[in-house]
Amino acid sequence: MTDQALEPAVEPATTLADVERRIKAILIGSAGNLVEWYDFYAYTAFALYFAPAFFPSKDPVVEQLNAAVVFAATFLMRPLGGWVFGYLADRYGRRLSLTVSVLCMCFGSLIIAVTPTYATIGIAAPIILALARVIEGLSLGGEYGASATYLSEVADAKHRGFYSSFQYVTLIGGQLTAIIVLLLLQKVFLTTDELKAWGWRIPFFIGACLAVFTAVMRRNLHETEAFVEAKKTAGPSGSITALLKYPRELLLVVGLTAGGTAAFYTFTTYMQTFVKLSVGLTEDQTTMVIFGSLLFACVLQPVYGAISDRIGRKPLLIFFGVAGTLSTIPILTALKATKEPFTAFLLICSAWIFTAGYTSINAVVKAELFPTNVRALGVGLPYAITVSLFGGTAPAIALYFKSIGHETWFYYYLSGVIFLSLLIYATMRDTKHASAMHRHA
């Protein structure tokens, strides 16, 4: 492996105009990320209402399992999205890749919003739903790498952890927005019967409209200086051949991601189903518990990101690995046993205390592994493959174990995957002190 280059000893002087430009770029880039993840998570937030329309069954667990399988299937397209949009970002610019990816998300959401139900068109309904989710999976596969690269490149070295943490602030914020829409529809505008009949379509129409607005905003983003400089000195890249020159870094991304993505999708996507079906909370209680825990998670991201700028990335990753390995089983066991919404909220928040050690900095850690000419592809492709294997499958695996009467097996599965990532965290170098951000080839 080629040794990573250290950050320049002297940073260029930062002017007020530089700070304003960076903040504007991060806000616009992050807003687009929020809209994409809102569109994606609207599926999970409203699955309790639309699952019977696409997967009719006498058993609600089976309905949710079928919906979770479609959710997992969308992740199969994420590696392709990581490759396509990573190539676009490294060859033609981060701005183009980010703009096209959000338009794909718009198209997928619009399809879901207008698809007839199983009662109307039979088996074609879940097939079309799966197709729409595949398009959204393709979009998200590209969004992560391009977004992580863009936010890391527009930040200055001293605050890169803090700025890049907003990728997960807006990522979680997308789910929060979906829940806010759910709460408004539940409490203010529609009845439960109306939500199940047709109201679940509304959030997907909203998402499609927001995606169009975001695409227009992203067209006005300035390109990163790192990409412009790399294009002048090293020329455009983004090829698989160029990426394969960094095999150790590619394997590091896989190892870094496995445990963190499994934990993330467990304590976000799966938690809504878990506290409803396993804990036994009402739909209203479920929504409020998940909303509160995600809000807590959002607050943690920039705090942990700023801490990583002071002490390094590696200590936070090790904290996540150790605490996640030791605490996952007790937390999920206690969560299943409780019937109190506030206790459930506290338990999920306790899981976020260590999960944020991964989510807050995983984007910048991966971006710091690769030179500019293959950074978006290097971050996005192996990440998307790993998320497809360990992240998107987490809800389906958990529900499968539940359906065969062995729900606790999932607790051990999750703890084991986190432990495997801990082995990587313990042996890797700290990317804050051995960063490739200023290398172009």
**Structural domain range at position 342:** 18-224+241-427
What percentage of the chain carries pLDDT values higher than 70? 88
By the 8 A CB rule, do 34 and 174 touch? yes
Other CB atoms closer than 10 Å to residue 217's CB: what's the count? Answer: 17
In a domain, 232, yes or no: no
Closest by Cα among 90, 84, 399, 373 to 273 = 399
pLDDT at 42: 82
Whether 11 shows a pLDDT value over 70: the answer reads no
User: What is the Cα–Cα distance from 441 to 438, expressed in whole angstroms?
Assistant: 9
**CATH number, residue 117:** 1.20.1250.20
Find the mean pLDDT for residues 190-198: 84
In a domain, 383, yes or no: yes
Letter string b/e over residues 82-119, b meaning 16 or more CB atoms within 10 A of that residue's CB: bbbbbbbbbbbbbbbbbbbbbebbbebbbbbbebebbe
In a domain, 439, yes or no: no
Find the mean pLDDT for residues 378-389: 87
pLDDT tens digits along 316-354: 999 999 999 999 999 999 988 888 889 999 999 999 999
In a domain, 56, yes or no: yes
The mean of the pLDDT values for the chain is 82
Start-end of H helices in 338-407: 341-359, 362-367, 375-386, 394-403
Find the mean pLDDT for residues 196-219: 84
In a domain, 388, yes or no: yes
DSSP readout, 277-344?
HTS---HHHHHHHHHHHHHHHHHHHHHHHHHHHHH-SHHHHHHHHHHHHHHHHHHHHHHHH---HHHH
3-state secondary structure of 250: helix
pLDDT at 15: 62
- Between the alpha carbon of residue 266 and those of residues 33, 322, 390, 399, the distances in Å are 20, 17, 10, 11
User: Amino acid identity, residue 403?
Assistant: S
Whether 3 shows a pLDDT value over 50: the answer reads no
pLDDT tens digits along 176-186: 888 888 888 88
Percent of residues in the chain assigned helix, strand, coil, to nearest 5:
80, 0, 20
Q: For residue 46, what is the DSSP state?
A: T
User: What is the Cα–Cα distance from 344 to 429, expressed in whole angstroms?
Assistant: 37
pLDDT at 10: 42
User: Within its chain, how far is the Cα of 22 from the centroid?
Assistant: 22
In this structure, of 12-16, 139-143, 182-186, 341-345, the range with the lowest mean pLDDT score is 12-16
User: What is the Cα–Cα distance from 225 to 112, expressed in whole angstroms?
Assistant: 38
Tell me the range of 243-247, 302-306, 360-364 where mean pLDDT is highest: 302-306
Whether 275 shows a pLDDT value over 80: the answer reads yes
In a domain, 150, yes or no: yes
pLDDT tens digits along 19-67: 677 777 777 777 777 877 787 778 777 877 877 777 766 656 656 666 6
Number of domains in the chain: 1
Whether pTM > 0.85 for this model: the answer is no
Whether 191 shows a pLDDT value over 70: the answer reads yes
In a domain, 9, yes or no: no
By the 8 A CB rule, do 154 and 26 touch? yes
In a domain, 193, yes or no: yes
